[in-house]
Structure 1
């Protein structure tokens, strides 16, 4: 029995509920421009209408979604009515009004949720009435916490400045702690999932200073193209106010783009061509300094950054690694403190005082739900001549003093130093690495050469090195600490241009001292895990009755993922598929494709799947797999049915083509979810792993109490705890025409979490899912120089067509296509 981050919700299922259409229009002249209103302002106006002007009509108050819908658990005695509502509360100096038109739309039968909770498959349809009712419940639960200033919120979380962190390491942004909340159906009950969460907030301030802090520069006029690309991604979607006469009091506007030398840009005004600098001087008395950066706001508005101010808002772009590390450090440090933080947040959630919940007759039990679970037995870890039991130290093992399961041969390799190392220390580091590889059972010769080269003309240096060490299997590349561009060039040379394995080492003062003092053994062994796998070796294998069952017939395990570009980027999405080729499900081949941006379905899955089957047949004496297991990453619950229908259907004709009249393979299709807020908390010290930061022991699985009422699913915490509260992975079985039981599938998933070749710990998701993610991350090495990191082409400011990206996306070199180059 464990505590969870879920709370029981009580709801009366005996009536219909009413969504009402809302239209808000200004009663003042806005000219020809479109009138837009933000969600917070819209909510403020609707609450003023309901609570101040007409409480006799809107009692209890309805919950507004910030768009066009007002939901009510009571049918109001109006079908269509127009109201005049003050734009501002209190006694403003210049009062103005808006028109709010309320129109009854239809009734929603909340009893449709009962069908969903009873397992009706039709109830999970995204456009169904149960989905609408669930969205309405979420809105009711979230409305009161969102409306308390000075909070910031997104779809399902709110954040408060009463608990925040600012640090030079992450400036200009701040971290605000808050709470996630979501209503979820389970069998025969509704739950509210509540969790502590962290928001990355851009503070209110001068835009010029925000930009300077982000780029770590003093003078914004000295910003060059690489930094401009980074800034463009950071600022796209950020809301700003313009600090000029005539703009005071106007709503914040969204940055569309960043432009250099804004004062030198010309536009048409009254039939004349006028520069932005001249316009600002004449119209506003503002002098734009030469070389100033500007931002594009709206369709054609251009403003220098020094007249803009940011409002307090959540960061829309992707968080940097530094922000992620700081957020982890800011999170509750262990499960007990996380649960206490959730309980402490009950006062901020205010469920018992919410006029929305009280009026709807909804209550949320304040005590966390208790769920039943069990610990799966761990597999043994097998090496070439030995095997390790994990019963004493679950989820962790050591390769020292072990011979790798299948050691690779490294007969020709070279070393190049781009970090300016002390050559004596570097030679010792390389010599000790070679010695450690031989201790692990690898056959290793001395490197062909160890050379130091300047960190420019990288491609020429690598080509020269590859020629000198003809037929080299691997290049060991020593990089300085900040070397993103060198790293990209090295990987592109190895993966695409030359087809040679590359292993990079980030050199640092600490690593140099450790090498000099012979303290690099652990570091060397971590490198060896990658090197051996890249060269075709196998590090270790999980041994269990379940894995033996998988080996009974030819089995192919696949992992698939789709990664999307950062917010604001125009780059396409990337789809990847990896597939096992051996009986131990340890060797994988990969394929990667470019597809329409932000498309979750794998558009070229049929071709990728076919290529995997053909390669399997080539490597397995002309046999095709009789069992196929797909672990699919990156799919939200709302897309489960679409994935099942589209991706499984895409695989079917491939099976018919290749298997023809022979026996068809069994197919198991499982979605693996990582981005959720379910947490488990030990009930006492006996169930807490003291080595795992007080988390539950690895292998803890829950397949009841909190699971989905329609889909077969389970939660598995496979990894040992490190820091904070471990997040279990969520497995949803969309198709299973094999003879495997749910217990079999849980054991298989757990065993595959012990196969990740880069680690000597059980990981949180099966190895093939991790590999698919690694393949997606390497997409940037496939693009040639015509595609920039800021996602625009050299020749056009327009959004490039998908064909442009396909044209400039090069395939993996044929020498590496059947190797695990991606680890």
Structure 2
């Protein structure tokens, strides 16, 4: 299905957009950290980035204001242990006419010249709905938990929407279609551990055989988890730890267990000190019973065979159901497009 834009939103129709490149050193590896870094840069330098620039999570930055080239230094971590250098350089300017050229007859050379204009339009269209549903601003699709299906095995099937701008002769169109993805089932980490290993009793997580521990480690590594007992930000799992509550470390010139630390600092008792826990960062160990999985994390590996049938049933829609979902999305019930003068829906 397509949504036809007969006129660009006014704020992109009457002024230039400045294009800049972003170079982050050292490489942040994951795009999520790139967004955090650029968000901090803009917050710490609000007078420069006003209005705020739009960032694609990689190398491109777009702003309505002519931001000067410059270098910014910032640190992350409780002990300010991680330092990043951000180098921002001016590259080019996109004028309203550059955007209009996308809808005219083009030569092969024009296609290269207009690539940045098209990138800008993709971000304009995608950033609002994506950020509304906690996905990266430049993600091609976003997914929602509404009517999700439990696939068991620690995974769920979510329905979402693909979106992209397509220039055609004399107009721009936004292509919208239904998309489906497997996500890590949000909620208590312990429940997901049990579901993935097909176990029922939480006590079974206290003495896992090595093959099951390796299977669980492969499944959960990199998954964002958030503590339920503190305001600590969500962090990715770097490893699993046996008997997490019994692990020891030095504090106040004596040996402490993780369980004792949580009892003293958070006034909570570790009910299952010998259960598998997780490591976040380099050294921090957190018992699994105090963690929950952050919603909306895509499972990017091959869907397990036991889940494939249910996922296929969920992702197979009758044409009229697919059309209804797209119309509901475009109408604003779950989607959010930039304002346009005229919107025309055409069939799938």
TM-score normalized by the length of structure 1: 0.32
1:238 to 223, 238, 256: 223
Q: Is the 1:171–1:214 contact (alpha carbons within 8 Å) kept by the matching residues of 2?
A: yes
Q: Deviations over 1:473-501 (max 9, x none)?
A: xxxxxxxxxxxxxxxxxxxxxxxxxxxxx
Aligned to 1:350: 336
1:221 to 206, 209, 216: 206
Distance 2:282 2:325 in 1: 44
Aligned to 1:137: 121
| 1:71 is the counterpart of 2:62 | yes
How many Å apart are 1:178 and its aligned residue? 1.9
Q: Is the 1:235–1:255 contact (alpha carbons within 8 Å) kept by the matching residues of 2?
A: yes
Distance 1:272 1:287 in 2: 23
Distance 1:80 1:271 in 2: 47
Instruction: Provide the aligned length of Structure 1 versus Structure 2.
Output: 307
| 1:299 is the counterpart of 2:295 | no
Aligned to 1:366: 344
Task: Specify whether residues 184 and 257 from structure 1 end up closer, same or farther in structure 2 by C-alpha distance, changes over 3 A only.
Answer: farther
How many Å apart are 1:326 and its aligned residue? 2.6
Q: CA RMSD in A?
A: 4.5
How many Å apart are 1:256 and its aligned residue? 1.6
How many Å apart are 1:180 and its aligned residue? 0.9
Aligned to 2:258: 280
Aligned to 2:74: none
Distance 1:112 1:80 in 2: 24
How many Å apart are 1:346 and its aligned residue? 0.8
Aligned-partner SS, 2:282: coil
How many Å apart are 1:146 and its aligned residue? 2.4
Q: Is the 1:109–1:133 contact (alpha carbons within 8 Å) kept by the matching residues of 2?
A: yes
Unpaired segments ≥5 residues, structure 2 = 24-31, 71-85, 264-268
Task: Specify whether residues 340 and 119 from structure 1 end up closer, same or farther in structure 2 by C-alpha distance, changes over 3 A only.
Answer: same
2:310 to 326, 336, 358: 326
Q: Is the 1:261–1:290 contact (alpha carbons within 8 Å) kept by the matching residues of 2?
A: yes
Distance 1:10 1:173 in 2: 41
Q: Deviations over 1:195-232 (max 9, x none)?
A: 11124333442212221122111221243223223212
Q: Is the 1:238–1:316 contact (alpha carbons within 8 Å) kept by the matching residues of 2?
A: no
Task: Specify whether residues 233 and 273 from structure 1 end up closer, same or farther in structure 2 by C-alpha distance, changes over 3 A only.
Answer: farther
Q: Is the 2:161–2:176 contact (alpha carbons within 8 Å) kept by the matching residues of 1?
A: yes
Aligned-partner SS, 2:213: helix
Q: Deviations over 1:132-174 (max 9, x none)?
A: 32221111001222243xx24351112233x32343x425433
Q: Is the 1:40–1:66 contact (alpha carbons within 8 Å) kept by the matching residues of 2?
A: no
Q: Is the 1:199–1:314 contact (alpha carbons within 8 Å) kept by the matching residues of 2?
A: no
Task: Specify whether residues 190 and 225 from structure 1 end up closer, same or farther in structure 2 by C-alpha distance, changes over 3 A only.
Answer: farther
Instruction: Give the 5 Å matches for 1:47-126.
Output: 58=51, 63-65=54-56, 70-72=61-63, 75-76=64-65, 79=68, 105-109=90-94, 111=98, 114=101, 118=105, 120-122=107-109
TM-score normalized by the length of structure 2: 0.68
Aligned to 1:6: 2
Q: Is the 1:239–1:252 contact (alpha carbons within 8 Å) kept by the matching residues of 2?
A: yes
Instruction: Give the 5 Å matches for 1:507-586.
Output: none
Aligned to 2:77: none
Distance 1:337 1:45 in 2: 44
Aligned to 2:152: 170
1:180 to 152, 158, 162: 162
Aligned-partner SS, 2:231: coil
Distance 1:178 1:66 in 2: 21
Task: Specify whether residues 15 and 152 from structure 1 end up closer, same or farther in structure 2 by C-alpha distance, changes over 3 A only.
Answer: closer
Task: Specify whether residues 191 and 261 from structure 1 end up closer, same or farther in structure 2 by C-alpha distance, changes over 3 A only.
Answer: same
Q: Is the 1:117–1:187 contact (alpha carbons within 8 Å) kept by the matching residues of 2?
A: yes
Q: Is the 1:164–1:175 contact (alpha carbons within 8 Å) kept by the matching residues of 2?
A: no
Aligned to 2:18: 18
Instruction: Give the 5 Å matches for 1:145-164.
Output: 145-148=129-132, 151-153=133-135, 155-161=139-145, 163-164=146-147
Distance 2:42 2:312 in 1: 38
How many Å apart are 1:367 and its aligned residue? 1.8
Distance 2:245 2:221 in 1: 20
Flag the structure with more relative contact order, 1 or 2, with Cα contacts below 8 A and sequence separation at least 6.
2
Greater Cα radius of gyration, structure 1 or 2: 1
Distance 1:77 1:16 in 2: 9
